[in-house]
Structure 1
């Protein structure tokens, strides 16, 4: 079954707020080998003008995941998770994520296309803080491999 073309343009409900914790930022930083003091030391981050430690750019995927889970769990999408591979990822920031942020994500399916027997689903996840201000947009391209 191919991906449902009516999925294009669908906006999923906002995710539950995610409170960014200092230790989560530090753990993620260690996992991706981010060694800047801004990622680990609250005092260094404050001296640089931030409220707390700064998350590495790819940390946004932690918040994006909740929106992608809604997409992948929706029953009418035609998406077969067993055939999905991650094709592309990018982030467009308004400001960095810092410990203490409470972030909510809204995922929109912006494109569905077929290429070489595969379906490509582009999903943009807009991530905002508790005041509603945009922080980052995470864009993923998911590839659903063909059956042959």
Structure 2
């Protein structure tokens, strides 16, 4: 099955709230070998002016993954997950993700390109807090390998 180029511009429903917990921040920090005390020590984070622990810069991928599940599960997209390779990832922040945040996300497919037998699907996930204020935008490109 080939990628449906008509998914370009398609947005998926906003995800359920994701509660950013202290231990999730600490676990993620350890997983990415972060040594930043703001992600592990509440007192250090507060001394730096934050309400609680500060998530590492790549932490929003946890929330973005919830939106990518929607895209990959959409039969009309035509994406075979067994053929997906992660091509690119970037984040644009309005503010840091802080333990205690309740975040929701909405994915929009911004680009679908065919390169020979392969396709590149780029999506933009807008992540907002409980007050609907922008926190971070996560942009991801998936490379879908085609039949050789």
Q: TM range, normalised to the smaller chain?
A: over 0.9
CA separation in 2, counterparts of 1:78 and 1:45? Answer: 44
Residues 33-79 of structure 1, C-alpha deviations (whole Å, 9 max, x = no match) = 11111010111101111100000000000000000000000111111
Task: State the match for 1:123 in structure 2.
Answer: 123
Quote the Cα distance in structure 1 between the aligned partners of 2:71 and 2:59: 20
The yes-or-no answer on 1:77 pairing with 2:77 is yes
Query: Size of the alignment, in residue pairs?
Result: 148
Match of 1:18 in 2: 18
Q: CA deviation at 1:116?
A: 3.4
Structure 1 residue 2, shift from structure 2 partner: 1.5
Distance 1:52 1:103 in 2: 15
Match of 1:63 in 2: 63
Q: Which residue of 2 aligns with 1:45?
A: 45
Q: Deviations over 1:81-110 (max 9, x none)?
A: 111110000001110001000000000000
CA distance in structure 2 between the aligned counterparts of 1:19 and 1:146, rounded to whole angstroms: 37
Mapped partners of 1:74, 1:114: distance in 2 = 19
CA-based RMSD of the aligned residues comes to 0.7
Deviation at 1:146, TM superposition (A): 1.2
CA distance in 1, matches of 2:72, 2:15: 14
Unaligned runs of 5+ in 2: none
TM-score with structure 1 length normalisation?
A: 0.98
The runs of 4+ residues in structure 1 deviating greater than 4 Å are none
